[in-house]
Structure formats: structure tokens, C-alpha cells
Amino acid sequence: MNFLTIVHTDVGIRRKTNQDSILLETADTDYGQVLLGVICDGMGGLAKGEVASAILIKAFSNWFHREFPRLLYRGVGAKDVKKSWMDLLLEQNQKISDYGAGDNFTLGTTAAALLLAGNIYYVVNVGDSRVYYLGEEGIEQITVDQTFVQREIDGGRMTADEAKMHPKRNMLLQCVGAGSALKPDFYTAEYEPDSVFMMCSDGFCHVIQPGEFYSRLKPGCLTREEKMKEAAIYFTELNKSRGEEDNMSVVLIRAY
């Protein structure tokens, strides 16, 4: 596979700092082009969220350059990627926790990472940043939010409409750095050529419906990186016009 890619981030209409951090890297290998994308959303209610997200982004970048080549040339598989990412997240969870403890404050970050190698995607998720897959048949949210309201929806105790207005709608059940117990979700599957992945922080998708995203981000619409950038800016401004106050970040990847 080969990839067209863009990154776009915006501080939003209320906050003074952008606590989102983004990584997007590609490499040409003997097995074709490979790609790693990561979005980390520093916790807005916690001190120095931008520090936590930056620490984790650096760790994933180091992993892509140092650890992943060994996995790739050994014959990359889901079990190996899952274990390697789990080790990384546990190590960084402790590192970020220790960083905050030294100055007597708590900090944390979400993490959504996407690895594309061959025709396989690998995704790991902690928190409520998201990864979507857009193919010819529509849009699919790969990740499941690790939030209080999503747990209640899954348990049949709350509707999606009720979740939008619930006072705990922003409450995370998991984040990296703010707790000793960490339970990432891991996903892997084959994907098709001429498909699109969208990675985003929660601020980018709170007030926009999946069908709205698909109308402008389906594979046939994103034939050039200029078109991809235009779409990212369009949805950022649409978010603002609808009153979204959070930081907003998005990565668009078109495989071909």
C-alpha cells in the first residue's frame, strides 16, 4: 500500500493551550510502505496535559524507529504488535505518573494509535480519541470510547441521546498516566485499497455525525492531499460554528 496523509489541529474557541499531540510517520521498507499514526489528547481537567501527550508521542516515535523494524523483519503479527504496544503503554503510564508525582500533580492523556503494514491495520486505544475506517460501504468507528457514558450505553442503561447531555459525558474510565490499572483495547483486521482512515481527538467528533464525515471523507472525495486538507479545515470550522470548545485534531490517511 501507499498513502496520502494530512494532519490538522486547532486550539478551538475557548482554550488557551492545545493539549493534543500528534504523530504521523511513514517508511519505505522491503515489505512496502508502512505507516504509524498516533493521537494523544492531554487531559483538559488535569495539570499539564500537553506534557503527558507529548511524552507518549515521543515514546511511540521511538518505538516506530527502533522496535518496529525488528518486528517487521521477523514477520510482524498481531500478537507481537499487541504485546509490544502493551509494554510501551505500561512503561509510559508509570513514567507519566512518576513525572506528576515529583511535583505533586496529576496528569494524563488518551492514546489512539494506528499501524498500517501490508493490508493489515493494528489499532490500540486508551480513552476517547477515535479511529474510523471509511470504505465504499460506509463509515465504521473502529475504537470504542472508554468513557462512563459509553459503558452505560453498552449496558443498556442509557441512550446515545441521553449520553450527549449527561453531566458525566466527559468522564474517562481509562487514560495513560493517571492510574495504576491500564487496560488498552486492541483491534486488528484486513483493509482494502482505496480506503480512508480518520483519527481524531474527541473534540473533533462531538458535534458531527458519522454520515456528515462520510459525505466529504469517503475515498472517492479524497484523491489529493489538498482535498484532504480542505476537508479537515471544513470540519474544524464546522465544529467551531456549532459551539465545540475543546481542542480539535485530525489525521486523514488514504490508502491506495
pTM: 0.95
Q: How many residues does the chain have?
A: 256
Q: Can you tell me whether residue 211 is helix, strand or coil?
A: helix
Q: Does an H or E element contain 39, and which?
A: strand 32-41
Distance CA 125, CA 227 (A): 28
Q: What are the structural domains, with CATH classification, of the chain?
A: 16-197 (3.60.40.10)
Distance CA 206, CA 33 (A): 32
Contact by Cβ (8 Å): 167, 251: no
The burial of 44, by beta-carbon neighbours within 10 Å (0-12 exposed, 13-18 middle, 19 or more buried), is given as: middle
Please give the chain's pLDDT, 256 residues, in tens.
Answer: 999 999 999 999 988 899 999 999 999 998 899 999 999 999 855 668 899 999 999 999 999 999 999 999 888 889 999 999 999 999 999 999 988 787 778 889 999 999 999 999 999 999 999 999 999 999 999 999 999 999 998 899 988 888 888 888 888 999 999 877 899 999 999 999 999 999 999 999 999 999 999 999 999 999 999 999 999 999 999 999 999 999 999 999 999 9
- C-alpha closest to that of 139 among 97, 193, 200, 198: 198
